[in-house]
A and B are shown apart, each in its own frame.
Chain A
Amino acid sequence: MSDKGQISDRNTSPPELEQVLKQLTGGTLCPCNRALINFLENSPDPVLLFDGNPELIGRNERAVELWDGVENFIPPRLLKEVAKVESSGESFHEEKKDRLIAIEASNGRRYFLPTVFPLIDAPAEPENGKNESIIACVLKDETIWERSERIRRNLLSSISHELNTPLTSARLALYLLAEQQIGELNSNQQELVERAKQDLDREIVTIQNVLDMIRAEDDLSGTGDTEVFNLHELIEEAINDFESQIRGLALPITRDYASSSPQIEMERETAELVMHQLFVSILKYTGDDAELRIVTSSDDDECSVELTTINGDQEDFPPEDLFSVELASERARRLRCADLGLRVAHEMIAPLGGALSSERFAKSGKLRLRFPHASSITR
């Protein structure tokens, strides 16, 4: 049917494309394709055209400007999306700015939100076995947004570091003076130091609240992409991640996995983070001669995992009131990282309908994590 060599790989002018489209469609263009040709002509965004293989077969003038003389500039992720559109026939539009596609251009790296759609559907039975579909990819340039976002994040990180380090040395200096560790103070000096310490503590709380608010705003802008995955795989991945610590403790692990294959549907990163916190906490409290027992269960309503350490000394296991501690409280600040991490994990999973709990027994401690929206698929 067509000779794709007619579409220049360097540039695809609208008249040239129109001619090829006419050949492909038997001489007539549907209104939709006419509109697309107009769009290509007027688009300020770079547009790439792919065949069904998918290989680049053309681009508009903006795309030529950006990738003039650049070889193999199309990243595998974009090619994968093009292939998916080609096989499904359904358009793809990336809306989330945290999933920008980076492409090296002749003037440096640029960031895009792609929209991929079939321009011409492949015939059900292609002639000569050739796939004649054409896929268009419009790349919305978000480079300026990406740069400003990167600067904003770096600035926040730097502000946090730059504020907290001098606050620490000022607080320590006042602490040393107030405790009279480096010499005695008279009553006036003591009063001034105490007042300065109180003011600094108030300042610290205000600054931490502002930084926490900014951080919370960043946390809320997560991808929101959920996926279905297997609970047992998640546990085994966590065991692999902590392999060296488990080996270091010579910790035997017994698994009592549910016979069904428990499936979880949520953001994978959140699930991994929560599972990591469970292991961090369990490993912290695991003593000599202990063993770790992992039990999973699942039914239509629930999908959960229990991690139990069995040994004779559980005095320091996470406190029973851990999950009621206010995160901003003095008590929370005093909690060690593993405990606070567990509390944070609880905060992350509770709004999704899950729950994390801790129990202490005479010779063992148990952490139980119930995942949200569970279902069970029998093997």
Chain B
Amino acid sequence: MNTPTNHSDPRSETALDVLFIDDSPNLCRAMELWLKTSGYSARIALNAAAAEEIASRETPRLVIADIGLPDASGYDLRQRLKEIPGMADTHFIALSGQRDRSVPRHSIEAGFDTFISKPPDFEELASILEECIPHRPGAA
């Protein structure tokens, strides 16, 4: 996980690495711990409204969003976040516990770059993070 800094990223070195959105406080807390101990700056949101507020302030490089949020679908949230200035290059990962085959398809059609089922393989998730956000040791 010690890839050099991505110099092609035009955003500030202080920009937020990951915004994680899920309505489960337990999952949010575990994910926050994992992301921060892995060296990423991370914020969590329990609903779409909070996610929009954080994203408009901190323009995350990567967004991981649950599809079933209490105040909006992950598909709608994806559209709303993409319209925030500075987020055109943000990578979006959809996360869902629903086993319906249409969910991955709808996620990709809604503009998510990657779909991951719950529970995810965390090593796979780590490698996606590494691809999207080349590691910055001590960024936590």
Q: Interface on A for B, CB 8 Å cutoff?
A: 157, 160-169, 171-173, 175-176, 181-182, 204, 208, 211-212, 214-215, 219, 241, 273, 276-277, 280, 333-334, 336-338, 340-341, 344
Q: Give the docked Cα–Cα distance between A273 and B100 (Å).
A: 14
Would you call the interface of chain A mostly helix, strand, loop, or mixed? helix
Chain B positions within 8 Å of A165 at CB level? 22, 24, 27, 66, 97, 118
Q: A165-B97, A211-B99 are in contact. List 20 more A-B contacts (CB 8 A).
A: A160-B99, A161-B98, A164-B117, A164-B118, A164-B119, A166-B24, A168-B118, A168-B119, A169-B29, A172-B34, A181-B34, A182-B33, A214-B99, A219-B101, A273-B105, A276-B109, A333-B121, A337-B108, A337-B115, A337-B116
* Among B66, B96, B105, B118, contact of A167 (Cβ-Cβ < 8 Å): B118
B41 at the interface (CB under 8 A from A): no
With CB as the reference atom, state the residue of chain A lying closest to B88. Answer: A248
Between A and B, 23 residue pairs with Cβ closer than 8 Å are A161-B96, A161-B97, A163-B97, A164-B97, A164-B117, A165-B118, A169-B30, A172-B30, A172-B119, A172-B122, A181-B37, A212-B99, A219-B101, A280-B105, A280-B109, A333-B121, A333-B124, A334-B124, A336-B114, A337-B114, A337-B115, A341-B104, A341-B105
Q: Interface on B for A, CB 8 Å cutoff?
A: 22, 24, 26-27, 29-31, 33-34, 37-38, 66, 68, 96-101, 104-105, 107-109, 114-122, 124
Q: Give the docked Cα–Cα distance between A164 and B100 (Å).
A: 13
Would you call the interface of chain B mostly helix, strand, loop, or mixed? mixed
Q: Give the docked Cα–Cα distance between A241 and B108 (Å).
A: 12
* Among B29, B115, B117, B119, contact of A171 (Cβ-Cβ < 8 Å): B119
Chain A positions within 8 Å of B26 at CB level? 166, 169
Chain B positions within 8 Å of A276 at CB level? 105, 109
Asked whether, in the complex, the Cβ of B34 is within 8 Å of the Cβ of A176, the reply is yes
Residue of B27, B115, B122 contacting most chain A CB atoms (<10 Å):
B27
Chain A positions within 8 Å of B38 at CB level? 181
* Among A167, A211, A219, A334, contact of B119 (Cβ-Cβ < 8 Å): A167
Known A172-B34, A173-B30, A175-B34: A204·B101 in contact at CB below 8 Å:
no
**Could you tell me the distance in whole angstroms from the C-beta of A344 to the nearest C-beta in chain B?**
7
